[in-house]
Chains A and B, each alone.
Chain A
Amino acid sequence: MLWLIEKTAYALGVIGGIVLLLPMCLVVIFDISSRILLGSGLPWAVDTGSVLMVSFVFAILPWSLVRGSHIRMDIFYIMAGRRFRLVSDLIATLGAASFFGLIGWGAINTIPRYLRIGTASPNVSIPYWPFAALIVFVCALSLIILVLQIFGRMKKPDQIPNA
């Protein structure tokens, strides 16, 4: 189970993150070339770029959670005792849970509306519901990671090399 969750987070980070980086770059290059050479941009470029970005942003979050890649003011945290760290970790988990929980819940609420109305991107009508579904999946995965980390079932970030 743990193995599966870590691998899923990693796969999302690699596929969603690294693999999407190049298409994002290429979409822009095609759009600029089209604007300069043909006089008008590609109508699908803005929409594609936007949904690629949504996928990219959310795909990389669970792996960053596993790696514990965070920006924090850790000076007192490093110097503090075990109890202080425990309180800090617990609050951090609750904060992260509010982030993923609320966004995921919002996405669950929104998918039926997206499907009913057919909400899609403005230019080439890329439907939004698959991306909301991706957000639900990512948020659920992140919440599981948080629960496992707080109960000590998953390696703490500082136990992972290069975290």
Chain B
Amino acid sequence: MLDPTLIGYGTFIALVALIILGVPIAWAISGVSFGALFLIYGIGPTISQFYTTAFSSAGEFLFSAVPLFIFAGQLISKARIGEDLFDTMHKWFGRLPGGLLVSTVSASAAFGAVTGVSAAAVGTMAKVAMPEMIRYKYDVKMSAGAIACASTIAIMLPPSLLLILYGLQTETSISKLFIAGIVPGIIMAIVFSAYNVIRCALKPELGPRGPRFSWRERFLSLGKLSPVVIIFGVVIGGLYNGFFTPGESAAVCAFSVLLYSIVTRRVKMKEIIDAAYDAVSLSAMVFAILIAMTVFSRVLIATRVTSDLVDLISSAGLNMYVVFALFILLLLVLAMFLDALGMLLLTLPFMFPVMMGLGFDPIWFGIVMVLMAEVGLITPPVGMNIFILSKSLPSVPTIHMFQGAWPYVALCILLVILFTIFPQLVLWLPNSM
């Protein structure tokens, strides 16, 4: 019989090879897991492991958060809440240098407060903000970069699909992860806005100032924020006070958005069905990976690969921050080739135990992982947000969008360094729960 550890390493190498070959992640994981479990246990127990894992994983009610948050996000997009948010932010920040860019960042952050996915935010902001930016002769690269990158704030601020998946995979408190995402999300929005203001102040032709609005107009525009404030308040307030669980918060969020959209007659039945269809499509991909990954985690336990890896790194006597920096470097490389979801789910089974073994905080690490996953949404050649943006703005070359996104990649890395030096920025709020 083959040594299980040897099988484990072989499995890992095969998995990497299959993913490079372009095999869909779910099927690559499933295939190698089958091979490994078959070699260790034989066919009978392998079948049993696959079925019991699939049935119990699929029956996990927390999984319902995935389609429901996506549904809510799509519905918000179709209910034109994004337009209202941008209008309000424009009235408040439009007068600043690069005011439309700041308005986009702040509207995206507000959008993120009621949706857990960035795709909805980037699609909406492209439609709303870009025509205004073109009208005021904003630099195309900066404009496209700001729209694509500001939308990533949506997955840091609660409710966040990636934080739910991180919590599911690592058994970390999702409520605490949600609460922990608030301060980093706000800091991201401030840093992104400050970058735009400074660049446009130094070089005004990049983003000229917008029109001035009266205080009366500004205050009146705040009324348009009310649905977002109410939905965010209900979801996060309910979570913070323990009225419902994170899985249930997805249903509350989806139901609130649906109710608002129907009552205000902002969406037609067809648009509701379209939103549900989008939710179902994306969820199917995520579920297949989640089920395969749960089986794969059994392979890792059976082959002791993860525990060996933890022992190896511990015995190497490396400084914990050196290991962390190496992981960040690896994530940065992976971010270029993998989708945010894929990268998160694929690397967690290896990285999480090592990081915990080194003494890092699981909540803090979750926020850093999500920040790195955000980088994956905007880096070439597989920057999902850039591709969504290029569909909305076919006249802007994709290369210009990637060029506009690079400064934000650097800002995200700086934020990782900031959160590493000052972990309290991430942890003080969840620790106060």
Q: Does A46 contact B (CB under 8 A)?
A: yes
The smallest C-beta distance from B236 to any residue of chain A, in angstroms, reads 15
A29-B255, A60-B287, A75-B381 known; A95 and B68 CB under 8 Å? no
Q: Name which of B83-91, B217-225, B243-251 contacts chain A.
A: B243-251
12-44 of chain B: CB within 8 A of chain A? 18-31, 34
Q: Which residues of B contact A49 (CB under 8 A)?
A: 61, 64
Nearest CB in chain B: distance from A56 CB, A: 7
A18 touches B20 (CB 8 A): no
Q: How far is the CA of A146 from the CA of B243 in the complex (A)?
A: 44
0/1 interface trace, chain A 107-121, chain B, CB 8 Å (1 if under): 101100000000000
In B40-67, which residues have CB < 8 Å from any A CB? Answer: 46-48, 50-52, 54-55, 58-61, 63-64, 67
Shortest C-beta distance, A128 to chain B (Å), equals: 8
A14 to B273, CA, bound (A): 10
Cα–Cα distance between A7 and B391 once the two chains are bound (Å): 29
Contact A102 B47 (CB under 8 A): yes
**A24 in contact (CB, < 8 A):** yes
Query: Is the pair B382, A99 in contact by a Cβ cutoff of 8 Å?
Result: no
Q: Which residues of B contact A143 (CB under 8 A)?
A: none
Do A71 and B341 have beta carbons less than 8 Å apart?
yes
Residues of B within 8 A of A63 (CB): 280, 284
- Residue A61 is within 8 A (CB to CB) of chain B in the complex: yes
Contacts A96-B27, A102-B51; A75 near B337 (Cβ below 8 A): yes
Contacts of B58 in A (CB 8 A): 53-54, 57-58
Q: How far apart sit A94 and B18, CA to CA, in the bound complex (Å)?
A: 12
7 further interface pairs, Cβ-Cβ under 8 Å (given A28-B251, A103-B50):
A18-B273, A28-B248, A53-B58, A53-B61, A57-B58, A72-B25, A103-B54
Q: Which residues of B contact A (CB under 8 A)?
A: 18-31, 34, 46-48, 50-52, 54-55, 58-61, 63-64, 67-68, 71, 238, 243-244, 247-248, 251-252, 254-255, 258, 273, 276-277, 279-289, 291-292, 337-339, 341-342, 381-382
Are B18 and A31 in contact (CB-based, < 8 A)? no
**Are A95 and B280 interface neighbours, CB within 8 A?**
no
Q: Which of A31, A35, A61, A87 contacts B284 (CB 8 A)?
A: A61
Dominant SS among interface residues on chain B: helix
Give bound CA distance, A88 to B24, whole Å. Answer: 9
| Residues of B close to A67: CB separation below 8 A | 281
Q: Which 8 A-B pairs have the closest CB atoms?
A: A106-B51, A77-B22, A95-B27, A95-B31, A64-B284, A70-B24, A28-B251, A17-B280
Are A71 and B18 in touch, CB under 8 angstroms? no
What residues of chain B lie closer than 8 Å to A56, measured between beta carbons? 64, 67
Given contacts A29-B255, A69-B285, A94-B31, contact A110 B51 (CB under 8 A): yes
Interface string of A1-16 (1 = CB under 8 A from B): 0000000000001100
Q: In the complex, A87→B61 CA distance in Å?
A: 37
In the complex, what distance in Å separates the CA atom of A77 from the CA atom of B23? 9
Could you tell me if A21 and B67 are in contact, using CB atoms closer than 8 angstroms? yes
The reply to whether B30 and A60 contact each other, CB–CB distance below 8 Å, is: no
Q: Which partner residue on chain B sits nearest A49 by CB separation?
A: B61
A124: interface (CB < 8 Å): no
B23 adjacent to A102 (CB under 8 Å): no
Residues of B within 8 A of A21 (CB): 67-68, 71, 276, 279-280
Task: Render A79-107 as a binary contact track against B, CB cut-off 8 A, 1 for contact.
Answer: 01000110110011111101100110111
Q: Are A99 and B292 in contact (CB under 8 A)?
A: yes
Q: Give CA–CA (A75, B19) in the complex, Å.
A: 10
A160 at the binding interface (Cβ < 8 Å): no
A73 within 8 A of B: yes
Are A106's CB and B280's CB within 8 A?
A: no
Is there contact, CB below 8 Å, between B59 and A60?
no
